[in-house]
Structure 1
Amino acid sequence: MKKLSVFELGIMTVAGVFMLNTLPLMAVYGFSSIFYYLFGAILYFIPLAFICAELSSGWAQTGGAYIWIREAFGSHIGFLGVWLEWSNTVISFPALLVFIGTTFIYAINPALANNKYIMLALLLTIFWGLTIINFLGFNISGRMSVIGFILGSLLPILLLIALSIVWLGLKHPSHIHVDWHLPTFNPKHSAFLVGLLLGYAGIQITAYHAQEIPNAQKNFPRAILIVVILMLFISIGGSLAIAIVVPSQQLNIISGVMQAIALFLAAFHLQAFIPYIAILIALGLLAMLNLWVIGPSKGLCISLNQPFTHLLVYQAIIITLLSVVYLWMPNIQSAYWMLIALTAILTLMMNILMFASLLRLRYTQPNRYRTYRIPGKNIGAWIVCITGMVVCFAAIILGFFPPIQLKTGHLFFYETFLMGGIILIVSVPLLFKISKS
């Protein structure tokens, strides 16, 4: 097996984890977003990376989280874990698709992005198209994710940062208020922090390659340091660039990236390039999204022993039904956020199982060979896992507070949607267990 360098692993991870849709969410907070990004990286992102690295280096079989949780708590809890992983990915698709669709529509007419019916038709066309491509067996190389990252995320962010520097250099006004005081943790004000943690959750991709770097015990922390630095640079830089040019009251949490790019280019008399940039971003994000269409279903196939193509069709049907939420809500942004919040809560629940699995396996399988172990023996593992679990529990509670920046309708509907979704999803493994019995 070819060994990866520390830098290669770092770049691969950033390409697999980073998603552009986090930037507008955090741009709402302006200068305070710096604190939130650092908070999420230190107390959630790094602990999650470390536990995934140890678990994957000890149990490297195909199946990921399902294998880890099953080894710790048995097949039933293992199935719950992989079901949560598959469910949170499926629920996130309508949100990611509307982000891609809104970006694409910017190439035609930005006003159409507020039309629920056009957006619904577009996102369903995109997803069913990707499903059919994978159903027919067309294998799109994993390298496409890196190309997609460059086109759909890295280049737009670098463009945003460069434009913001030129903007400030030419003495244009900035909408950011610099304040070095700690930001408020009022739940309704800081609710978007849940979306930030969701943006960090894909760090498992690094862990899957922990055994592919030489001297993992020494080099893996270095790779994580590279990932954290790169993620913080592009995330903070991108969010601040948006906040500089778009007032927080006018910022659209879906199309905020294109909002900022359009305002910058218009100010520099370069608006003719807006449609081309929008199409480039949309195509790049589609290349990245395609890998997520097939990825989570593989772990579920292993636990259910079901044909892969069947799950692809079931997945597409569920996403079609979920997408109808865009027609129920007061506006597209509200529906988008509710899907993000539900996805984040389910992801955090799965992360809690992963943290607990690492602790249990430290005691039930202490002699299992691992190419990487969290430093500090069992005390180090406890510190990392407890920190991660506390943040996960706190973020789950935070997710039930509707953000003050959005009109999400009646509080009862908002919380019922989230709680109902959680109960429905968690009950499936229980019903599956009963039917097997």
Structure 2
Amino acid sequence: MSNNLLGAKDIVFMNVIGILSLRQIPNVAPYGASAMILWIIAAFCFFIPLAMVCGELSTAWPKDGGIFVWIKEAFGKKMGWIATVCYLFSCVIFFPMMLQFAFAAIAYLMPKELTDNAIFMKYFIGIGSIVMFCVLTFLNILGMKWTKIINSISAYCGIFIPTALIIILAFLWLLSGYSMQSKYEFSLDNYLPNLSDWNTIVFASSMMFAFAGLEISGMVAGRTANPQKDFPRAMFYSAICIVGIYMVGTWALNTIYPSDKTDIVEGITQAIAFAGNALSMPWLLQIIAICLFVGVVGQVNSWLVGPIYMLQEASKEDKILGDGISKLHPKYQTPHKALIYQAIIVCVLCLSTFLSESIAKAYWFLTALTTICYFIPYLIMFPAFIYLRKIKPDVHRVFKIPGKILPIIFPVLGFLSVSFAVFLIFIPPAELSSNDATFIDKFWYFFKIFLGGVIAIATALITYSMALKRNDINKGE
């Protein structure tokens, strides 16, 4: 197999690194034993439908482009381009946000007098994010062989090793005579989540997006050795691996640290520090900090590649962005210009770390901008699947969702889950629902969410319209 072609294992690594984030585990850990049921609900309502739909579409149209190709085949190039721009918009904002988290994690290795210095941390995180993204961009320009190497290192060092470390630590905790820190005794009160509580429903919906990103590997389907054979197997193995790690990791975290005291942001480092000190292994905190850093960098790398290949494929249609951006590097056959343009935009966004009053405010502002943009392609993709089943039934699909009912249930369930999550986005958080919140505060909350979607859709419509006018002029000449 060529070093520039992906196999089933490479696709699994890309999916695991792109989707699975240990950051999600402390978000769920405060729910204790009921988190197991919440993970299953989230997987059933979103992850399984997404895996089934992406698995079939990627084997029916096994070439670069992913979501763009699937939506274009169903609803035309214009709708495909809108989905592409929205997806890319969410990604370029997602990158500095994730890099901020990565460098905040690695700061655990630094002296406390430095990490307590807000100005130093701004520059450390901002400059570090810019340098890291430029390095990743350069390596990915050199070809898929580097993408595979980074993903493999990140999968082992950033996901598998720290997960195994947390699980082993949980068993050592129990074998050392310590009791389990959270209530896991079998009883309905412990395991059944309180779905009558609106906060639990909101949280369960947000959990679905701990599974988002399975469509990334479909964007580089044209770079795989045997997409019809490899994709179905990779989707199956990815699903088992991701759901399993989330559930076992949550149990392990609850074992070594009380669920009701787990911080949703720093829960992993909090638990590792607590258990490490109790078991006379304080050095574990430094190891987990390095692992979290590597895992986040790998996640950025997975998302860096897929959407750019989708853009490269989409821009060929009607030469939407001109001739240059869709051309591949003469030696490495990678969309080098698109990667460079993306790096410039991301580096500019990384400057938000310097401009914002605090790193936390920069992080949450970027989150608000990107949220709605990421949902739009999903809202188009699930109906596209149903429509393609109707209008193009003869297109060969090595993997097909079995039966007559499941091909309808899965995309409908996925669409409804995403729609519900979109609805919940616009419900103000608790601090904005209080009497102290002003009208301006609430308006600004809604405006930030709308702003990302409006800018992305407007950009897509303007660039598409300009391309059509440019093509008409060239035809006239």
Q: Into which bin does the TM-score normalised by the smaller protein fall? A: 0.7 to 0.9
Is 1:385 matched up with 2:385? no
**Alpha-carbon spacing, 1:110–1:213, altered in 2? closer, same or farther (3 Å):** farther
What 5-or-longer segments of structure 2 have no aligned partner? 185-189, 316-320, 326-334, 470-477
Distance 1:40 1:210 in 2: 32
Whether the 8 Å CA contact 1:120–1:324 is kept in 2: the answer is: no
Of 408, 411, 422 in structure 2, the residue corresponding to residue 396 of structure 1 is 422
1:200 maps to what in 2? 211
What 5-or-longer segments of structure 1 have no aligned partner? none
- TM-score w.r.t. structure 1 length? 0.84
1:128 maps to what in 2? 130
Distance 1:210 1:173 in 2: 50
Distance 2:339 2:228 in 1: 33
Q: After TM superposition, give the deviation of residue 425 of structure 1 in Å.
A: 1.8
Distance 1:351 1:76 in 2: 16
1:253 maps to what in 2? 264
1:26 maps to what in 2? 28
Whether the 8 Å CA contact 2:20–2:210 is kept in 1: the answer is: yes
Of 65, 68, 81 in structure 2, the residue corresponding to residue 66 of structure 1 is 68
Q: Percent identity?
A: 28
2:187 maps to what in 1? none
1:152 maps to what in 2? 158
Superimposed CA distance per residue, residues 203-247 of structure 1 (whole angstroms, 9 cap, x where no aligned partner): 225654695465x8xx93x76554333222211222333344455
2:247 maps to what in 1? 236
Whether the 8 Å CA contact 2:102–2:297 is kept in 1: the answer is: yes
1:415 maps to what in 2? 446
Whether the 8 Å CA contact 1:22–1:199 is kept in 2: the answer is: yes
Q: Read off the aligned partner of 1:352 and give its amino acid letter.
A: L
Task: Say which is worse superposed, 86-95 or 271-280, in terms of deviation.
Answer: 271-280
Of 261, 280, 289 in structure 2, the residue corresponding to residue 278 of structure 1 is 289
Q: How many residues align?
A: 432
Distance 1:7 1:171 in 2: 39
Superimposed CA distance per residue, residues 121-175 of structure 1 (whole angstroms, 9 cap, x where no aligned partner): 3343334324433348444241320221110111111111221232244454655
**Alpha-carbon spacing, 1:341–1:25, altered in 2? closer, same or farther (3 Å):** farther
Whether the 8 Å CA contact 1:46–1:224 is kept in 2: the answer is: no
Whether the 8 Å CA contact 1:94–1:319 is kept in 2: the answer is: yes
Whether the 8 Å CA contact 1:188–1:402 is kept in 2: the answer is: no
Distance 1:247 1:407 in 2: 29
Distance 1:196 1:89 in 2: 19
**Alpha-carbon spacing, 1:210–1:116, altered in 2? closer, same or farther (3 Å):** farther
Q: Read off the aligned partner of 1:285 and give its amino acid letter.
A: V
Task: Say which is worse superposed, 8-17 or 285-294, in terms of deviation.
Answer: 8-17
**Alpha-carbon spacing, 1:420–1:256, altered in 2? closer, same or farther (3 Å):** same
Q: Read off the aligned partner of 1:301 and give its amino acid letter.
A: Q
Whether the 8 Å CA contact 2:59–2:228 is kept in 1: the answer is: no
Distance 2:117 2:235 in 1: 41
1:203 match: secondary structure: coil
Whether the 8 Å CA contact 1:160–1:241 is kept in 2: the answer is: yes
Is 1:427 matched up with 2:438? no
1:81 maps to what in 2? 83
When Rg is computed on C-alpha atoms for both structures, the one with the higher figure is: 2
